[in-house]
Amino acid sequence: MKRQRLYGEAAGFSGRLMAAFVLLILAFSANADDCFSLYAKSGATPGSKTCKLDVTSNTPGGIGNYACINDLVQIEQWCNSTGTPPDDTCPVADPVFPANGIVTLFETDFASGDTSPLVFSRSYLSKPFDKAQTAMGGYWASNWQRRLDLTSVNASTPKITAYRSNGQPLIFKWVNGGWAVPGTSGLSLLKAGDGYFYLKDERLGTTETYSVSTGLFHSETTRTGMYREVEYVGQQIDSIAQWPVDRIGQAASRLTLSLTYDSNGRILSVVPPSGNATHYAYDAKGNLVSVTAPIGYVRQYLYEDARFPNAMTGIKDESGSRIATWTYDSSGRAISVTHPDTTRNVSFSYGANTTTVSNMSGYSTYSFNVGDTSRPGSIVTPGGAVSRTWDISGNLKQTITPDGNTQYTWDGANRPTKAVATVSGNRTVTTIEYSDSTSLRPHLVATPGKIRAFVYDQGGNVTGYAETETTDLTGEQGMQATGTGNQWTVGARYDSASRLLSAAITRNGSKREDWTYTYDVRGNVESVQDAVSGWSMRTLSRNAENRATQIAGNSGQASIGYDERGRVKSFQYNEPVSSLNGGVAPVLAVDYRYGPDGTVSSRTAQVSTNGGWWKPISDAELGVWLTNWELGNDPVAPPANLTGLQSDAPAFVPDMCVECYMAWKALPTGKLFGQELGETLPAWRETTELMLSDQAQVPYPSLVPDLTSSTKRSTLYSGLFKGGDRGFVKCGGRETHEAECYAQYENDRDECRLLAGPRGKRNWALCLANAFERYQQCRGY
């Protein structure tokens, strides 16, 4: 009896001890490094036969890490998920890579206000390629967490993996004495003697540096003269600083984002110069669960699948409403995406290198060519079939669609030299000759009705441009086409930072425009003037985040206010008396209000004339004011016969874009490539084969076969709105419901022709841009 009591007491004590021990473990694990970062420290190689044993044997010990070391589900997930090859397909739905079922998201938390903005963004992958990134949780990464994986640099088959800003890998291999991405032109990686690798991307116009010893990202230099550097404390990013390349280190020219961290090394906040920080929160498994905007609205991310504790299953927007739900199969592939709007619901089923996508339009089956990367092979949709074939280097050889086909020719440096498109029986040819043996800079480009020629300085900037109209309406004669005698030429100069200083535009020997540009200490455009017309615009002041707050032109002055998130809060334009505006002095005042999700919830506008009482105006009349401002028209106020306009014309009423006059009026892009903007977009196939380089300069085109024409056009439009990101999306197309979106786009184009066309070419182009934006939204971009 006594022994029984002692046994009972001992059992009770051991039970209490075990309970205390478990609680202690849980308490420590909640504050320990998240499991994936610990596994990366074990030296295990994901995908190897010994990965699981290496993780359990070599993961750093300690009572706080006990739960991770014994979490067999997470260990297996970490070890088995690297077999997924890089994906060169185009995400569908909201959005999912159809080749491997990976859910991906991209969100921007901050962008400064200059022409080449400093951006802080995040990307999510439900199966991340880079397992070592944990600063935003294991499955999220910021655009500044780029790095080189150097673990195989000295292997028997050497390679370097460059993880990009979207989390996707680029695999550089040692080919003919140098690092290259097989089948991809415009990318180079060079190890210099200064302790850095240099990664140059001609399409993006950037040169990045990485530490030779650690592979950590160090700096980025843009083609247009901006330098950005990541500053570390240990292995953590402490701040991101931006300067013009000719003012590096000068305090007055510096723009800085500062980062703060929690005790687990995860980013807690990003603080811009205004102090209006964005805050981040994480759960016990290291998942990013919420982002709080500077004005207090919270966006939430849900992870509810116990099998895959880091796989996102839902999003709640800033109003608290659930706006998306993802479900997964036993392999962790997305099998459905649902929304409150059920017409947007999508489901996925997977076969051997095939995926069937089901939505309101019916069933579409994708097939893929899987090697070093997954490439789209064919897509069978309710509207027809699209197929693509690739050569052994990964270059696109041919695309066949319901209305025709396009064939491509490549040179020995894997650069495209010709595209021959046959669409509905009509044949068009694009031919390109390069200025040297390695770069993507063209010397001559022949398209239907035109031959363009380019001359460059030592920095690769276009200093001479000549465009000759030809009688070759199909482009089949290439460089041998006969000219009509009509010609545009541009002569340009740049400063030492590759910023455009002047551009003289001549038509058939007659100078039409003669532009000069000046810049402030942060590299922002300060003034622009055309000596021929006398048109000018001057930025009088900018705030700490480089957003223009006072701008003066020949016909008046604008004052712009911004909210905590950098969105336009107020716009006021004061126009003095002139003969052009009917001898009156109007003042426009516009106020913007935003909903929790960041969209414009209301916009009110009123006008005071000659100091009189304020009177409200309609959206249609406001549209004329804002269109004139964005296009750089003088005067900005509507003419007397349009004042009081009541009928709404939403197809050409734009959102507020403060400095869009630069692209539409003061830079050469729209003038030189305006035909590509206004060109009718075919329902299935490409006619616009060219993608432009950075549009803050005189741009040059690149022939990019692996982008759809609509994607290429979006890169052209990106330079005409809010700076754009000049991004490069390697995307095959979103054909699953192309027909419905295209019908809407055609209807919008008809409205543009009727409503905006009579107001001139640039009004029509702006309307087309807005129509195209709606088209892209319909297609899922």
Which DSSP symbol is given to 13? H
DSSP-H helix ranges across 327-374: none
Mean per-residue pLDDT, 3-12:
36
Task: Calculate what percentage of the chain has a pLDDT beyond 90.
Answer: 50
- In the predicted model, is pLDDT for residue 482 greater than 80? yes
Residue-averaged pLDDT of the chain: 82
Question: Sheet containing 96-97: which strands, arranged edge to edge?
Answer: 96-97, 102-111, 119-125, 140-142
Any idea which of 65-74, 198-207, 346-355, 743-752 has the lowest mean pLDDT?
743-752
In this prediction, residue 388 has a pLDDT band, given cuts at 50, 70 and 90, of confident
Kindly tell me the number of DSSP H helices and DSSP E strands found in the chain.
Answer: 12, 47
Whole-number pLDDT of residue 689: 61
Which DSSP symbol is given to 113? S
3-class secondary structure per residue, 364-393:
EEEEEEECCCEEEEEEEECCEEEEEEECCC
- In the predicted model, is pLDDT for residue 8 greater than 70? no
Distance CA 288, CA 527 (A): 43
Whole-number pLDDT of residue 344: 85
20 by Cβ neighbours in 10 Å (0-12 / 13-18 / 19+) ranks as exposed
Distance CA 670, CA 3 (A): 94
- In the predicted model, is pLDDT for residue 474 greater than 80? yes
Whole-number pLDDT of residue 37: 63
In this prediction, residue 166 has a pLDDT band, given cuts at 50, 70 and 90, of confident
Over the stretch 231-284, which tens digit does the pLDDT of each residue have? 999 989 999 999 999 999 999 999 999 999 999 999 999 999 999 999 999 999
Q: Which residue has 């306009």 as its token pair?
A: 645
Whole-number pLDDT of residue 735: 47
- In the predicted model, is pLDDT for residue 31 greater than 50? no
Q: What single-letter amino acid sits at 54?
A: D
Instruction: Judge whether 43 and 57 are in contact, CB under 8 Å.
Output: no
Over the stretch 84-113, which tens digit does the pLDDT of each residue have? 566 667 778 778 988 899 999 999 999 999
**What DSSP string describes 546-609?**
S-EEEEEETTEEEEEEE-TTS-EEEEEEE----TTTTS--EEEEEEEEE-TTSSEEEEEEEEEE
Whole-number pLDDT of residue 21: 36
Instruction: Enter the pTM of the model.
Output: 0.84
Phi-psi label, residue 699: left if phi above 0, alpha if psi -120 to 50, beta otherwise: beta
Cβ partners under 8 Å of residue 614, min gap 6: 589, 606, 607, 608
Whole-number pLDDT of residue 124: 96
389 bridge partner residues: 398
Under DSSP, is residue 619 helix (H, G, I), strand (E, B) or coil?
helix
Whole-number pLDDT of residue 392: 83
- In the predicted model, is pLDDT for residue 306 greater than 80? yes
Whole-number pLDDT of residue 648: 43
Any idea which of 247-256, 503-512, 525-534, 679-688 has the lowest mean pLDDT?
679-688
In this prediction, residue 305 has a pLDDT band, given cuts at 50, 70 and 90, of very high
Task: Calculate what percentage of the chain has a pLDDT beyond 70.
Answer: 77
Strands in 384-424 per DSSP E: 384-390, 396-401, 404-410, 416-423
Whole-number pLDDT of residue 14: 42
Whole-number pLDDT of residue 765: 65
- In the predicted model, is pLDDT for residue 216 greater than 90? yes
Distance CA 629, CA 213 (A): 51
- In the predicted model, is pLDDT for residue 141 greater than 70? yes
Q: Which of 253, 290, 286, 260 minimizes the C-alpha distance to 275?
A: 260
- In the predicted model, is pLDDT for residue 19 greater than 70? no
**Cα–Cα separations (whole angstroms), residue 256 to 170, 292, 489, 753:** 28, 20, 40, 45
- Asked if residue 616 has a cis previous peptide bond (ω within 30° of 0), the answer is no
Whole-number pLDDT of residue 615: 95
Distance CA 707, CA 53 (A): 43
Whole-number pLDDT of residue 750: 63
Whole-number pLDDT of residue 173: 93
Instruction: Judge whether 291 and 278 are in contact, CB under 8 Å.
Output: yes
Over the stretch 603-617, which tens digit does the pLDDT of each residue have? 899 999 999 999 999
